[in-house]
């Protein structure tokens, strides 16, 4: 048993015992109340699950095991000469709750490199799709094609003790995360490059491999990838993709089936697809205004025109956050170091100055501040990565870290099949009448 697996087993065994005791002694303690607005409004804010890998505060933003993004950028191990942390370190933190050492992160990078082998049949499945099929559709299909390698599925078919579920989920998680950059980069290369799969270099870290396989060898871009894959890794359990992974996983579906389902949720315009919608909107703005360096007055007019047409300004507003997204601020910090003078980045910064003010004056938006999607596209474009239809795949590769770490915990804790109670519209109307 490797060190990470051993640590996870020790911590999860203790947590499972504690959870059983909590349910036994406090199972009837009321944790929340539900109103009709929440029932109709997408269960917004209702406390219904444990999600220990990260938590989201409306004013502070995301914390991973108690650490905020500035702390993680400082504390997580970095490669020699790099400014941004390795996502491997964040995965370690989410899985066992400890900041890893440099040696532990190096081990994890090497371990993922050892596991980064994709069967040729997966590439054949991708090749059966038209090259112009949306990259997210190709991505989820590729994940499904890898499912035949699931250790959990094989052991479940053979019959094994439920106390061993966590072990098989850990192995599936490690394999799937290791292999995602290979299939994700192949989807990019067949659509936008030479179409040949790239080889994984075990001497490089996970992010550096992904960047290289995409065809980018700029060291600053590689650092951007480390930052991007870290800050997008998790956003507590209530977002659509994370909750989908949890829901499907609660049926004892394996990591591949669960993650694939979550990626279909991520592909929605109100979720992960928003990152491509932001840069698309900026490109349309540039085309309509007729310059890549618009004035603030021109930007203000375009923002108002967008809102008056009944559309939203993509990248602004968040279901939970009531302050600028710390993930946006981390990207802005990166851009201030590496992207000064880039006209598209400048547009993003000007929008940051203008949009919250305009939305705030309307009085209809609880959160007029930018979310993570408002900046990421401009950073990628700075390095020549302009194929925005692919951006959500980057998001998906990153999000695997958080949702799969939590899925390991779900198995280790023996969490139950999700089965919330639904109600009918007549039931709601009856409740209203009873309370008049």
Distances in Å between the Cα of 53 and the Cα atoms of 90, 173, 356, 410 are 10, 15, 30, 11
Q: Is 63 left (phi over 0), alpha (psi -120 to 50) or beta?
A: beta
Pinpoint the alpha helices (H) of 129-215.
Answer: 135-146, 151-158, 165-192, 206-214
CATH code linked to domain 274-382 = 1.10.230.10
| Nearest alpha carbon to residue 328 among 351, 306, 305, 312 | 351
C-alpha–C-alpha distance, residues 416 and 410, integer Å: 9
Contact between 327 and 231 (Cβ < 8 Å): yes
Question: What was the pLDDT predicted at 322?
Answer: 79
* Active-site entry in 318, 342, 375, 410: 318
Place of tokens 């060898």: 217
Residue 111 DSSP SS3: helix
CATH architecture of the domain formed by 92-272+388-413: Orthogonal Bundle (1.10)
Question: What was the pLDDT predicted at 327?
Answer: 94
Strands (E) across 9-78 are located at 54-57, 61-64, 67-68
Averages of pLDDT over runs of 10 residues in the chain (436 residues) are 94 93 89 85 84 90 95 96 95 98 97 97 96 95 98 96 96 98 96 86 96 94 97 94 97 98 93 86 95 95 93 84 89 96 96 93 82 93 95 96 98 94 90 88
Where are the domain boundaries for CATH 1.10.580.10 in the chain? 92-272+388-413
* Active-site entry in 373, 375, 382, 410: 373
Where are the domain boundaries for CATH 1.10.230.10 in the chain? 274-382
Distances in Å between the Cα of 90 and the Cα atoms of 25, 63, 104, 254, 396 are 33, 11, 12, 23, 16
C-alpha–C-alpha distance, residues 418 and 251, integer Å: 8
Q: Is 232 a catalytic residue?
A: no
Question: What was the pLDDT predicted at 364?
Answer: 66
Read out DSSP for 372-392?
Answer: THHHHHHHHHHTT---GGGHH
DSSP H or E segment with residue 292: none
Distances in Å between the Cα of 48 and the Cα atoms of 31, 60, 61, 253, 418 are 9, 21, 20, 20, 10
Enumerate residues 6+ apart whose C-beta is below 8 A from 84. Answer: 73, 78, 223, 224, 226, 227, 230, 334
Q: Is 220 a catalytic residue?
A: no
CA 407, distance to chain mean position in Å, is 14
* Active-site entry in 52, 57, 220, 271: 271
Q: Is 243 a catalytic residue?
A: no
Please report how the helices 165-192 and 391-413 are oriented relative to each other, as an axis angle in degrees rounded to 10: 170
Q: Do strands 61-64 and 67-68 pair parallel, antiparallel, or not at all (unpaired)?
A: antiparallel
Q: Is 150 left (phi over 0), alpha (psi -120 to 50) or beta?
A: beta
Q: What secondary structure letter does DSSP report for 54?
A: E
């Amino acid at each position: 048993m490797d060190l990470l697996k051993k640590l996870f087993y020790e911590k999860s065994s203790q947590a499972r015992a504690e959870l059983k005791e909590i349910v036994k002694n406090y199972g009837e303690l009321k944790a929340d109340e539900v109103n009709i607005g929440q029932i109709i409004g997408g269960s917004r804010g209702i406390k219904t699950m444990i999600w220990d890998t990260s938590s989201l505060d409306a004013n502070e933003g995301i914390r991973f095991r108690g650490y905020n993004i500035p702390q993680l950028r400082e504390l997580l191990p970095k490669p020699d000469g790099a400014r941004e942390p390795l996502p491997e370190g964040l995965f370690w933190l989410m899985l066992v709750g400890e900041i890893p050492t440099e040696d532990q992160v190096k081990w994890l990078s090497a371990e993922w490199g050892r596991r980064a082998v994709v069967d040729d049949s997966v590439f054949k499945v991708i090749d059966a799709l038209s090259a112009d099929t949306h990259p997210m559709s190709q991505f989820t299909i590729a994940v499904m094609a890898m499912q035949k390698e699931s250790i959990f599925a094989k052991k479940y078919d053979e019959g094994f003790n439920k106390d061993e579920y966590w072990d098989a989920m850990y192995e599936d998680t490690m394999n799937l995360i290791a292999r995602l950059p290979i299939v994700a980069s192949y989807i990019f290369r067949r659509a936008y490059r030479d179409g040949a799969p790239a080889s994984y270099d075990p001497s490089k870290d996970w992010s550096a491999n992904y960047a290289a396989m995409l065809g980018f060898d700029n060291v600053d871009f590689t650092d951007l990838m480390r930052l991007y894959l870290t800050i997008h890794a998790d956003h507590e359990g209530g977002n659509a993709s994370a909750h989908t992974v949890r829901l499907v996983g609660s049926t004892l579906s394996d990591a591949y089936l669960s993650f694939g389902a979550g990626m279909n949720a991520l592909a929605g315009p109100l979720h992960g697809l928003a990152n491509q919608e932001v840069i698309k909107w900026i490109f349309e703005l540039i085309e309509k205004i007729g310059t890549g360096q618009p004035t603030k007055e021109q930007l203000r007019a375009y923002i108002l025109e967008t809102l008056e047409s009944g559309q939203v300004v993509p990248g602004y507003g968040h279901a939970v956050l009531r302050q600028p997204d710390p993930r946006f601020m981390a990207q802005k910090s990166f851009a201030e170091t590496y992207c000064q003078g880039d006209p598209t980045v400048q547009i993003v910064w000007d929008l940051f100055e203008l949009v919250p003010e305009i939305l705030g004056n309307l009085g209809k938006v609880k959160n007029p501040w930018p979310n993570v999607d408002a900046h990421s596209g401009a950073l990628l474009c700075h390095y020549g990565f302009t194929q925005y239809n692919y951006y959500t795949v980057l998001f998906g590769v990153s999000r695997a870290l958080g949702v799969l770490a939590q899925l390991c915990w779900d198995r280790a804790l023996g969490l139950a099949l999700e089965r919330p109670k639904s109600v009918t519209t007549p039931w709601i109307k009856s409740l209203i009448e009873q309370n008049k």
